[in-house]
Structure 1
């Protein structure tokens, strides 16, 4: 199994073109290579603002629409790794773990609000495709453990995002 993107469209604000999907697949390959992740599946869902607001409220306690949400399928604790997809499975330090952190597992889900992406592309003065690409890479980095709670973490994440987008030709 390679690094795979599965996607669904649950919104009607904008048609999702094959060109956009091909671009997102390219971004996934670049980001995966940069982070040394060769195997796994990322599920992407395009939604409207009401749908993402409901998810944001239910999972983050924030009752407002947002642009992107990430739901990692694995969390690693001090003594165990939980696979949060299908049945919960615990792998202790004493057991053999598959080669590579993700193996052939589901890496996680990314949800992008297309109306928010349209709005932000206009606000930032760049293309819709660049905005969706940015949101996708941002979401992917969250799936694999990056965050931006501190200024240092945000700077590191921003640098990684920009490097992937630059390589794909999605400049501002």
Structure 2
């Protein structure tokens, strides 16, 4: 399995340590295995409420902060928002005719970008207090929630919500993360 997680911490409300990052990498592997996603790169950003508020307003038209945003880099459904960063284009290149060929040593193999997950840490802290569990558990929940959005899940209907939340709990349970 070749799933990669790149993290950026742009907030000061909570220390994001190696233990938590290790747990998030484990969750990514478990979620990928459960959902049949065996390769790709995911960018995870920890931000403050002001930053997520601005992003939520700009990309979703909602003038308020939220707990997590997901921006898929590849189109997975008819109603998904396609995000482009400046002039950067993401291009898929087929390696036709290279079956069985080995790349030169040191040649980087880039994973296809799955997308970005942005978590508001102050919002995660407040929700952890409201739900009576740890901040780590809330961040883990939001991370898995964001990942499922990236691969096409949504919770627009009651049935979709039950399905998505059941998948989240299965993944968290496999990692030993409970309420």
Normalising by the smaller structure, the TM-score range is 0.7 to 0.9
- More strand by percentage: 1
Pair 1:16 & 2:19 matched: no
Match of 1:100 in 2: none
1:20-66 CA-to-partner distances (Å, cap 9, x unmatched) read: 10000000000000001110000000000000000000000111110
* Change over 3 Å in CA distance of 1:169–1:90 after alignment to 2: closer
Q: Is the 8 A contact 1:83 1:89 kept in 2?
A: no
How many residues get paired?
Answer: 159
- Deviation larger for 20-29 or 1-10: 1-10
1:87 shift after superposition = 1.6
Which of 134, 139, 149 aligns to 2:141? It is 134
Q: Distance in 2 between matches of 1:90 and 1:112?
A: 28
Q: Distance in 2 between matches of 1:83 and 1:9?
A: 21
Match of 1:146 in 2: 153
Question: Looking at CA atoms only, which structure, 1 or 2, has the larger radius of gyration?
Answer: 2
Return the TM-score normalized by structure 1.
0.86
RMSD over aligned Cα atoms: 2.2
Q: Distance in 1 between matches of 2:173 and 2:124?
A: 19
Q: Is the 8 A contact 1:49 1:115 kept in 2?
A: yes
